[in-house]
Amino acid sequence: MDHLDAIESKSIFILREAFNRFERIGMLWSLGKDSNVMIWLAKKAFFGHVPFPVIHIDTGKKFPEMYTFRDRYTKEWGLDLMRGDCPPIEEMDPTLPPAARSAARKTAGLKRFLSANTFPGILAGIRRDEEGTRAKERVFSPRGENAQWDVRDQPPEFWDQYKTDFPPGTHVRIHPLLHWTELDIWRYMQRENIPAIDLYFAKNGQRYRSLGDQDITSPVASTASTLDEIIQELKTTTVAERSGRAMDHEAEDTFERLRADGYM
């Protein structure tokens, strides 16, 4: 087994374990590269079919290309799509910096969705290498009553042994891609021929490394316009993956505040 085979196998094990252990699970679909890989892995894990709903928490501010992608691949991949709306920014914590306050709408939208739809387990496509706070996550991560994440109260996970027996009523976030890197994602997309939104490929010297809302996401300088060029660029770049996310440049504790409140 090569590296991609090994991480694929581990993710498929996590997906099957989650499906087996929880009465009902759903998968968050942000429409970006990571969650598209997660859907692809689910199709592999369950013999070409995703046997649970995919959930798009829609801020209404995504790029048009992202909505086009969602509508096309919902049909082509045979997905059971559930969509949740987000409250207006005026309802968000006014003490947050502007971009983080805008991003908090997604957390509030997810909480509203989960209050209306019972999902003991939610699959999310986060990776440890993406952001420092996410490096503290567990694969099976219990949440508080209102989806809050307490980094100091997480189960140990040694030698890929996961705690999956939680008290009734516990909400758990499951992270099948936690052990992947950005470079792994692109190499796997190339190997598996997984479709990607065109915004990831350079035009006029710029491309998006990470996709969020239009008003708080910017491209980075790049000439990588093909999969091969993206992979080569990632081998040497010193630019952070989320450098185009406005909230990552605000107050130092902003992301941790959002994550503690349930942001993915």
pLDDT in tens, 55-82: 999 999 999 999 999 999 999 999 999 9
Tell which residue, 118, 89, 83, has the closest CA to residue 103: 89
Question: Tell me, what's the pLDDT at 230?
Answer: 97
Backbone angles phi and psi of 181, in degrees to 5: -115, 170
Model confidence at 184, in pLDDT bands (50, 70, 90)?
very high
Question: Tell me, what's the pLDDT at 149?
Answer: 59
Question: Tell me, what's the pLDDT at 253?
Answer: 53
Question: Tell me, what's the pLDDT at 231?
Answer: 97
Strand ranges in the chain using DSSP code E only, listed in sequence order: 25-28, 54-58, 81-85, 121-123, 140-143, 171-174, 206-207, 220-221
Q: Does residue 246 register a pLDDT over 80? A: no
Q: Decide if 252 contacts 239 (C-beta within 8 A).
A: no
Q: Higher model confidence: residue 99 or residue 211?
A: 211
Strand ranges in 79-184 using DSSP code E only, listed in sequence order: 81-85, 121-123, 140-143, 171-174
Model confidence at 216, in pLDDT bands (50, 70, 90)?
confident
> What 8-state DSSP symbol labels residue 217?
B
> pTM of the prediction?
0.88
Distance (Å, rounded) from C-alpha 57 to C-alpha 106?
A: 6
Question: Tell me, what's the pLDDT at 166?
Answer: 81
Tell which residue, 138, 125, 158, 114, has the closest CA to residue 41: 125
Q: Does residue 259 register a pLDDT over 60? A: no
pLDDT tens readout for residues 153-174: 677 777 778 878 888 878 899 9
CA dihedral 16, 21, 24, 30 (to 10 degrees): -50
Q: Which residues contact 50 (CB under 8 A, 6 or more apart)?
A: 27, 39, 42, 43, 77, 78, 79, 80
Average pLDDT of the chain is 87
Model confidence at 138, in pLDDT bands (50, 70, 90)?
confident
Q: Does residue 200 register a pLDDT over 60? A: yes
Distance (Å, rounded) from C-alpha 120 to C-alpha 169?
A: 7
Question: Tell me, what's the pLDDT at 98?
Answer: 80
Q: Which long-range contacts (CB under 8 A, 24 or more apart) does 190-195 make?
A: 190/227, 190/228, 190/231, 191/4, 192/40, 194/36, 194/37, 194/40, 195/36, 195/69, 195/73
